[in-house]
Amino acid sequence: MTNHNARDKPFKWKHFEGEIILWVVRWYCRYALSYADLKEMAAERGLSIERSTLCRWVHEYGTDLTKRIKPHLKMAGGSWRVDETYVKVKGVWHYLYRAIDKSGQTLDWMLSERRNKIAAKKFFKKILGNKHISVPYVINVDKNPAFVPAHSELQRTGDFQQTTKLRQVKYLNNGIENDHKAIKFKSRYRQWYQGFETATCVIDGMETMRMFQQGQLRFANKDIFAQNKLINKVFGLAA
């Protein structure tokens, strides 16, 4: 009952209105802004909000934004590009698995402490768990050897079709390697992350807002006003 109420009333007991909270989360996740930047921008609008409060909002609503928006995404293509890049969490490099389709639409992402078969398999299954994803006919990956056994095991369990090909051709993944830049730039500008869970929440928010920018929504497309209206709607705020 508690979880249900929290989802229906996500801003209950907050000292600021939901529209203000979502404005902060949207801007932080969409643009290369720090909490100090947002504090100044809020002050220009007559709002006194501490950086720690802004930080809590992003951590609390980043992943929630992803969950509420995913049902509104367009169907993705069946040709995947899968790769992993590096992000720093508490001074230690971690692996950010990411996937896009042939047209550049983001499929999914996953932060991991490991770069092995277990992580690769977990990421494949995470992608397949999305309703906007269909079983791929080809998966393009780099030379990371962990992808081969992960792919084979998922074929044996029926998660992937026997006809789903895995191709380790580096040049085919140039698109996703270039696609990493937006997330890496924002993360580096903010001096990376201080915890695994909080890093996951922020990355969820950034990746989701990137899908907005790429026009992956079924109805709002790249109309920023329609996008903001949809965000308010999925959080239960009146238009």
**CATH code, domain carrying 87:** 3.30.420.10
Residue 112 lies in a domain: yes
Q: What is the pLDDT of residue 1?
A: 39
Residue 189 lies in a domain: no
Full-model pTM: 0.91
Residue 239 lies in a domain: no
**Among 183, 202, 220, which residue terminates a domain?**
183
Question: Is 133 in the same domain as 99?
Answer: yes
Q: What does DSSP assign to residue 9?
A: S
Residue 33 lies in a domain: yes
Contacts of 6 (CB under 8 A, 6+ apart): 12
Interval 174-197: pLDDT, tens: 888 888 999 999 999 999 999 999
Question: Is 88 in the same domain as 167?
Answer: yes
Q: What is the pLDDT of residue 203?
A: 97
Question: Is 84 in the same domain as 112?
Answer: yes
Residue 62 lies in a domain: yes
Interval 160-177: pLDDT, tens: 999 999 999 877 778 888
Residue 188 lies in a domain: no
Q: In total, how many domains does the chain have?
A: 2
Residue 8 lies in a domain: yes
Question: Is 6 in the same domain as 60?
Answer: yes
Residue 43 lies in a domain: yes
Q: What is the pLDDT of residue 232?
A: 95
Interval 2-42: pLDDT, tens: 455 566 789 988 889 999 999 999 999 999 999 999 999 99
Residue 157 has pLDDT above 50, yes or no: yes
**Residue range of the domain that includes 7:** 2-72+194-234
Distance between CA atoms of residues 165 and 137, nearest Å: 6
DSSP-assigned letters across all residues of 15-51: SS-HHHHHHHHHHHHHSS--HHHHHHHHHHTT----H
